[in-house]
């Protein structure tokens, strides 16, 4: 009964989505207020019905309803309740439902927080989002119905893939999808602007906070996924450049470009068609990511039971959405105009360069992801494009981008002077060079890669300090705390996000340069040594989890005479799928992680133990966290709300600051 | 007002969709098997229903036939089952089963419940014959000609489209020519 309710709710949501995508759009074109007014309630109702469907599927999972095929394939009576809930998005159909749910929530949010927007704009934006929802709802109802029954019902389910039975997997997909789908708002705003033919600073101001929130959430989502891979896969790696990761990374790169391009459009009115193009591209890449991950084009036959019907549907959907938006772009973009002009050396030109670099980087990732597919498609054999390719193309692209990242926030709009910038930044440059030399030497030995990375990381950090100082010079004198409080939140958001990048680079470089590992055969009582730490394998015990059995090792870590920590790595065997899993044990410190994983057992008391010392690896996620928080801080800047309330231009005093601060 | 440079993204995208479409038509399940056009690997296995009798690929010499690898634990087999049943009932081509890594009782119960399309099912409990046939995912289906040569291999569930477009024309051709 409940699954049928869910199914029915999806059908209703589809009907509402159809209304929502047609009437408000026509209403906006004809000036029919009643039709336009439908947009908000329709979006809210649609979100509600999707939520009902989502609730029904969750209920089916929690109540172990194995007469639902999807539940039988992804759950089990032994599965702890938290993972049964996470099982909702453990497979193809549920992931789509989650995607659609996120879209519903974004629509809901737009319908609530859009009171200051012209009615035409809101109607068009929600109408475009409604069209996207139509596509996904149709897809679910036609080719991937999560409520399909299994008759006769299975006695028990096939269990959730043990890899996904992890707290990281509970939060990672919702975050990631929220970010992915969030770009649909920017996309819808762009479409609305193209239809309207009007694209001005106020347009950019409306769409900017939405885009920034989506970008921040996507950043956090990707970081969570990377953290999950780090401790679940047992290899200590944190990024594998595999197609699924790349699928989320491409929208991030383009989204980063979009966030910056929007800043220029808002502040200077420039880059208009470029901004619109990036918004289309970011959302298209989100859709492409969904296509790549869900259609089975890239995944092997065994990863998801693929169905060619699905692939064709998603491809057709992609073609319709992206094709029609690019057609609209080709038709209308020349109308929106070019906006303010700027000199060769100016903040605009630097941001444009960075935009281009980010876009090329996204292109390189796309190429690396699809090239093996293309080769295979043309019968030229199977190849695997691995980290060497990505690292080889990525570093040369990102290095100049990071260098510019330090300068651009300090450069003037419209026209900047290089000599002046050089004078302002000479101390930052000096500090960076010192860091580039001192840090590698302090870590033990010189390495060009680390030195260069530290140069860039320190450069970003040091220029941020210079920037803060320069900003404070505009603020009336007073106590330092009061003066700092004068600067707008969006400015701190920018600083924080940029600092996050610096922290991230430092983490990546230091781990890559100085990590140490050892694979040792240990019998109970044996000790191993790594980087000044002593690891004593004191015991191995059998333990029983809710749906697995495990061997749990006890490893006492000491440094000199001082006890550091006791680690309990596990080797689990998930009973239903008969699948072994390595559960690494990590001692996470600020400057290093100690990572211990059990390999294979040689005898019941002798194991291969893999031990890593990973300096500063936590900074990788710390940096992402800073970026995400920075983005959120910027998105919730007071001026968006103040403008929303006052409806007009100025926020006393801060406007000048904003203009120079936001980058 | 249409400017050429704004059309560039659209053109690039069209080419891109083209490549993806080609990628989709190439079904990863239809990887050419090294066994195509090779004699079907020999087996001599007990029958599923009658353990004291055996079945061998030689028993089928002189006929075009289908070998369908299945198991009661396999969900995709259930998906293709109605298609296989229909094909077997049409009498166009005899279908033999290879019950793969299954319990005998489970396999028999499965057939009793869902219907038995197979003239005979060979019982490959430890999956040894499966290895010879290069089975790497159940279900798999082979078309074997009168001389005992494998002519077609399908990995994954057989759909009505596959029967219509691939299996039936092939069976017809094999029956006509040889």
Where do the domains of chain B lie, and which CATH numbers do they carry?
Answer: 29-174 (3.40.30.10)
Instruction: Work out the pLDDT band at A201, boundaries 50, 70, 90.
Output: confident
Mean pLDDT, to the nearest integer, of B67-71? Answer: 91
- 8 Å CB contact between A126 and A76: no
- 8 Å CB contact between A410 and A421: yes
Q: Is the pLDDT of residue A63 over 90?
A: yes
Residue A323: per-residue pLDDT: 93
Residue B26: per-residue pLDDT: 61
Whole-number Å distance between alpha carbons of B21 and B3 = 28
Q: Is the pLDDT of residue A10 over 50?
A: yes
Whole-number Å distance between alpha carbons of A9 and A540 = 51
Instruction: Work out the pLDDT band at A658, boundaries 50, 70, 90.
Output: very low
The region of weakest confidence among A193-202, A347-356, A425-434, B87-96 is A193-202
Does B6 lie at the interface with A, CB-CB under 8 angstroms?
yes
| Helix (H/G/I), strand (E/B), else coil: B57 | helix
Residue A385: per-residue pLDDT: 67
Cα-Cα end-to-end distance for chain A: 53
Instruction: Work out the pLDDT band at B106, boundaries 50, 70, 90.
Output: confident
Residue B177: per-residue pLDDT: 56
DSSP state of A398: H
**Residue contact A312–B137, C-beta within 8 A:** no
Q: Computed from CA positions of residues A298, A304, A307, A313, in that sequence, does the dihedral angle turn out positive or negative?
A: negative
**Please, what is the angle between helix A119-143 and helix A167-196, to 10°?**
130
The region of weakest confidence among A18-27, A458-467, B27-36, B104-113 is B27-36
DSSP secondary structure letters along A3-51: HHHHHHHHHHHHHHHHHHHHHHHHHHHHT-HHHHTTHHHHHHHHHHHHH
pLDDT in tens, A287-299: 888 777 766 555 4
Q: Is the pLDDT of residue A644 over 80?
A: no
Q: A-B interface: how many C-beta pairs under 8 angstroms?
A: 72
Residue A26: per-residue pLDDT: 95
Residue A245: C-alpha distances to residues A176, A222, A395, B32, B39 (Å):
11, 8, 18, 29, 43
Instruction: Work out the pLDDT band at A513, boundaries 50, 70, 90.
Output: very high
pLDDT in tens, B112-129: 888 899 999 999 888 888
Does B32 lie at the interface with A, CB-CB under 8 angstroms?
no
Does A370 lie at the interface with B, CB-CB under 8 angstroms?
yes
Does A382 lie at the interface with B, CB-CB under 8 angstroms?
no
Helix (H), strand (E) at residue B44: strand B44-46
Whole-number Å distance between alpha carbons of A454 and A438 = 9
Task: Go through chain B and tell me how many residues it has.
Answer: 178
Q: Is the pLDDT of residue A175 over 90?
A: yes
Residue B144: per-residue pLDDT: 92
Cβ-based neighbour number of residue A601 at 10 Å:
14
A281 to chain B nearest CA, in Å? 9
- 8 Å CB contact between A591 and A615: yes
Q: Is the pLDDT of residue A233 over 80?
A: no
Q: Which is nearest to A578 in space by CA: A159, A281, A282?
A: A159
Residue with the larger pLDDT of the pair B34 and A345: A345
pLDDT in tens, A89-131: 988 889 999 999 999 999 999 999 988 889 999 999 999 999 9
Mean pLDDT, to the nearest integer, of A265-271? Answer: 86
Q: What percent of chain A has pLDDT over 70?
A: 92
A316 to chain B nearest CA, in Å? 9
Residue A51: per-residue pLDDT: 97
Residue A662: per-residue pLDDT: 41
**Residue contact B23–A335, C-beta within 8 A:** no
Residues of A in contact with B27 (CB under 8 A): 308
* Mean pLDDT computed over every residue of chain A: 88
Q: Is the pLDDT of residue B6 over 80?
A: yes
B106 to chain A nearest CA, in Å? 14
User: Strands A579-583 and A562-567: what pairing?
Assistant: unpaired
Residue B72: per-residue pLDDT: 84
Whole-number Å distance between alpha carbons of A607 and A569 = 12
pLDDT in tens, A417-462: 888 899 989 999 999 999 999 999 999 889 899 999 999 999 999 9
Residue A663: per-residue pLDDT: 40
Cβ-based neighbour number of residue B58 at 10 Å:
12
Which residues does B99 contact at the CB level (< 8 Å), separation at least 6? B48, B70, B71, B72, B107, B121, B122, B123, B124
Q: Is the pLDDT of residue B136 over 60?
A: yes
Q: Is the pLDDT of residue B30 over 60?
A: no
State both tokens at B150: 């494998």
Residue A657: per-residue pLDDT: 40
Q: Given its phi and psi angles, is residue B62 left (phi above 0), alpha (psi -120 to 50 degrees) or beta?
A: left
| Helix (H/G/I), strand (E/B), else coil: B137 | coil
Mean pLDDT, to the nearest integer, of A556-582? Answer: 89
Does A429 lie at the interface with B, CB-CB under 8 angstroms?
no
- Across A67-93, b (16+ Cβ under 10 Å) vs e yields ebbbbbbbbbebbeeebbbbbbbbbbb
Instruction: Work out the pLDDT band at A378, boundaries 50, 70, 90.
Output: low
Residue A389: per-residue pLDDT: 85
Residue A222: per-residue pLDDT: 94
pLDDT in tens, A41-53: 999 999 999 999 9
**Residue contact B19–A311, C-beta within 8 A:** no
Q: Give residue A541's Cα distance to chain centre.
A: 39
Residue A301: per-residue pLDDT: 31
The region of weakest confidence among A164-178, A249-263, A284-298, B155-169 is A284-298
Instruction: Work out the pLDDT band at A496, boundaries 50, 70, 90.
Output: very high
Whole-number Å distance between alpha carbons of A644 and A117 = 8
Q: What are phi and psi of A606, to 5 degrees?
A: -120, 125
Residue A48: per-residue pLDDT: 97
Report pTM: 0.81
Cβ-based neighbour number of residue A492 at 10 Å:
19
Whole-number Å distance between alpha carbons of A413 and A415 = 6
Cis peptide leading into B51, omega within 30 of 0? no
Residue A377: per-residue pLDDT: 60
Cis peptide leading into A577, omega within 30 of 0? no
Cis peptide leading into B139, omega within 30 of 0? yes
State both tokens at A256: 């980063």
Q: Is the pLDDT of residue A652 over 70?
A: no
Residues of A in contact with B29 (CB under 8 A): 301
**Residue contact A329–B23, C-beta within 8 A:** no
pLDDT in tens, A525-553: 999 999 999 999 999 999 998 889 999 99
Mean pLDDT, to the nearest integer, of A552-575? Answer: 92
Mean pLDDT, to the nearest integer, of A362-384? Answer: 73
**Residue contact B6–A315, C-beta within 8 A:** no
Q: Given its phi and psi angles, is residue A539 left (phi above 0), alpha (psi -120 to 50 degrees) or beta?
A: beta
Residue with the larger pLDDT of the pair A132 and A200: A132
**Residue contact A374–B10, C-beta within 8 A:** no
B76 to chain A nearest CA, in Å? 9
Residue A337: per-residue pLDDT: 65
Residue linked to tokens 């569930």 = B157
Count of helix runs (H) and strand runs (E) in chain B: 6, 7
Residues 38-57 of B with CB under 8 A from A: none
- 8 Å CB contact between A628 and A219: yes
Q: Which is nearest to A6 in space by CA: A85, A59, A76, A64?
A: A59
| Helix (H/G/I), strand (E/B), else coil: A337 | coil
Across A10-19, A444-453, B88-97, the highest mean pLDDT is recorded for A10-19
Residue with the larger pLDDT of the pair A658 and A519: A519
Mutate which: B28, B31, B109, vs A, most A CBs within 10 A: B28
Does B10 lie at the interface with A, CB-CB under 8 angstroms?
yes
Q: Is the pLDDT of residue A629 over 50?
A: yes
Instruction: Work out the pLDDT band at B1, boundaries 50, 70, 90.
Output: very low
């Amino acid at each position: 009964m409940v699954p049928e309710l869910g199914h029915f709710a999806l059908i209703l949501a589809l009907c509402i989505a159809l209304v929502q995508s047609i009437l408000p759009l026509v209403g906006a074109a004809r000036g029919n207020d009643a039709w336009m007014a439908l947009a908000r309630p329709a979006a809210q109702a649609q979100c509600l019905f999707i939520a009902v469907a989502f609730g029904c599927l969750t209920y089916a999972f929690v109540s172990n309803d194995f007469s639902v095929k999807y539940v039988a394939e992804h759950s089990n009576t032994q599965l702890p309740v938290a993972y049964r809930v996470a099982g909702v998005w453990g497979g193809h159909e549920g992931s789509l439902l989650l995607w659609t749910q996120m879209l519903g929530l974004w629509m809901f949010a737009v319908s609530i927080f859009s009171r200051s927007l012209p009615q035409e704009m809101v109607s068009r934006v929600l109408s475009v989002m409604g069209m996207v929802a139509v596509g996904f709802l149709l897809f679910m109802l036609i080719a991937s119905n999560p409520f399909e029954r299994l008759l006769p019902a299975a006695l028990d389910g096939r269990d959730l893939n043990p890899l996904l039975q992890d707290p990281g997997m509970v939060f990672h997909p919702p975050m990631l999808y929220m970010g992915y789908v969030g770009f649909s708002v920017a996309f819808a705003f762009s479409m609305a602007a193209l239809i309207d033919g009007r694209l001005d600073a106020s347009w950019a101001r409306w769409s900017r906070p939405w885009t920034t929130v989506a970008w921040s959430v996507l950043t956090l989502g990707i970081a969570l996924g990377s953290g999950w891979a780090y401790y679940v896969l047992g290899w200590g790696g944190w990024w594998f450049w595999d197609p699924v990761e790349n699928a989320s990374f491409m929208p991030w790169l383009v989204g980063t470009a979009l966030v910056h391009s929007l800043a220029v459009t808002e502040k200077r009115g420039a880059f208009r068609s470029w901004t619109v193009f990036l918004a289309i591209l970011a959302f298209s890449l989100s859709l492409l990511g969904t296509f790549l991950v869900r259609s089975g084009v890239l995944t092997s036959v065994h990863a998801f039971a693929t169905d060619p019907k699905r692939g064709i549907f998603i491809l057709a959907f992609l073609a319709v959405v992206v094709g029609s938006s690019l057609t609209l772009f080709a038709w209308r973009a020349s109308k929106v105009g070019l906006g303010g002009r700027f000199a060769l050396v100016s903040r605009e030109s630097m941001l444009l360069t960075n935009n281009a670099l980010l876009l090329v980087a996204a292109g390189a990732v796309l190429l690396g992801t699809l090239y093996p597919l293309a080769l295979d498609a043309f019968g030229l054999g199977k190849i695997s494009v691995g980290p060497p390719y990505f690292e080889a193309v990525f570093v040369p692209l990102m290095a100049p981008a990071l260098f510019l990242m330090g300068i651009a926030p300090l450069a003037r709009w419209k026209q900047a002077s290089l000599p002046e910038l050089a004078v302002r930044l000479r101390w930052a440059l000096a500090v960076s060079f010192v860091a580039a030399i001192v840090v590698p030497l302090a870590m033990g030995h010189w390495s060009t890669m680390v030195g260069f990375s530290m140069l860039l990381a320190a450069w970003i950090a040091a220029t941020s300090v210079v920037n803060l100082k320069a900003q404070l010079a505009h603020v009336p004198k007073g106590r330092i705390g009061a003066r700092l409080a004068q600067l707008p939140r969006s400015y701190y958001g920018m600083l924080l996000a940029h600092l996050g990048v610096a922290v991230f680079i430092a983490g990546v470089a230091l781990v890559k340069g100085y990590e140490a590992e050892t694979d040792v055969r240990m019998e109970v009582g044996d000790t191993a040594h790594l980087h000044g730490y002593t690891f004593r394998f004191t015991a191995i015990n059998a333990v029983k989890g809710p749906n697995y059995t495990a061997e749990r090792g006890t490893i006492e870590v000491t440094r000199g005479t001082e006890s550091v920590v006791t680690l309990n790595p596990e080797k689990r065997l998930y009973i239903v799928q008969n699948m072994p899993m390595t559960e690494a044990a990590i001692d996470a410190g600020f400057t290093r992680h100690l990572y211990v994983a059990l390999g294979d057992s040689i005898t019941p008391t002798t194991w291969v133990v893999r031990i890593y010392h990973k300096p500063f690896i936590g900074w990788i996620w710390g940096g992402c966290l800073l970026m995400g928080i920075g983005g959120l801080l910027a998105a919730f800047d007071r001026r968006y709300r103040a403008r929303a309330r006052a409806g007009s231009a100025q926020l006393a005093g801060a406007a000048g600051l904003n203009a120079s601060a936001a980058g | 007002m249409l400017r050429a440079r704004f059309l560039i993204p659209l053109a690039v995208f069209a080419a891109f969709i083209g490549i993806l479409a080609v990628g989709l038509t190439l079904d990863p399940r239809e990887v050419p098997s090294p066994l195509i056009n090779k004699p079907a690997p020999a087996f001599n296995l007990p029958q599923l229903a009658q353990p004291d009798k055996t079945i061998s690929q030689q028993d089928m010499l002189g006929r075009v036939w289908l070998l369908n690898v299945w198991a009661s634990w396999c969900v995709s087999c259930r998906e293709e089952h109605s298609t296989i049943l229909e094909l077997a009932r049409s009498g166009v081509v005899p279908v033999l089963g290879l019950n793969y890594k299954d319990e005998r009782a489970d396999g028999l119960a499965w057939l009793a419940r869902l219907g038995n399309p197979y003239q005979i099912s060979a019982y490959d409990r430890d999956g040894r014959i499966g290895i010879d046939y290069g089975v790497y995912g159940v279900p798999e289906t082979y078309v074997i000609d009168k001389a005992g040569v494998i002519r077609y291999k399908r990995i994954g569930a057989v759909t009505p489209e596959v029967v219509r477009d691939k299996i039936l024309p092939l069976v017809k051709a094999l029956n006509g020519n040889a």
